[in-house]
Structure 1
Amino acid sequence: MGALLMVVSSPAAEAALRYYPIAPDVRLNVRSGPGTTYRIVRVLSEGSHVPIFCQKAGQTVTGPYGTSNIWDGIGVSEYVSDTYIQTGSDGYIAPFCA
């Protein structure tokens, strides 16, 4: 059973929350864990933007923005490969997921 993502909300956290665009012309699978073997929980439509609450190492994936094993936690038990998110970095930009 996968770990749950805890999201704590406060006025300061809400104001600081940034949304990142997914790669152009991509419908992106959101997975229940950090890899393509995890079940798809939903699909993001083209032009979507996502918050990144935390990040976790997982399966290595190649996408429009390179090759990486970083997966972005965008909701409770919702992960997308960082290689499909335009963060402006090849490394971690958020805290590690629990």
Structure 2
Amino acid sequence: MLSTILADIADRPFILVGMSALLLMLPLALTSTQGWIRRLGRNWKRLHWLVYPAAVLGLVHFFWIIRANRWTEPLIYAGLVAVFLAWRVWRRRPQRAG
């Protein structure tokens, strides 16, 4: 049974990428309550940076499962993720003194 699963993953790498994204999002879902935010303190924000690699892996997964010429939807999502990531990078840039 394990050999069948491994052979399936080797034939369809998008499964591994999708599962990786899901596993990255699991701790985010589990720690998104007020109680966990309070318990984790500053580490909550560090943990929730996992959303960025999870989003990229999710996009890679989405592009790999597309058949034929149906690229419009994943391109829209990729554009939105790119805009949000660029905005976050821009907001974190060091400020110059006046």
With the length of structure 2 as denominator, give the TM-score of the two structures: 0.23
With the length of structure 1 as denominator, give the TM-score of the two structures: 0.23
- Return the index of the structure with the highest Cα Rg: 2
Richer in helix (by share): 2
Richer in strand (by share): 1
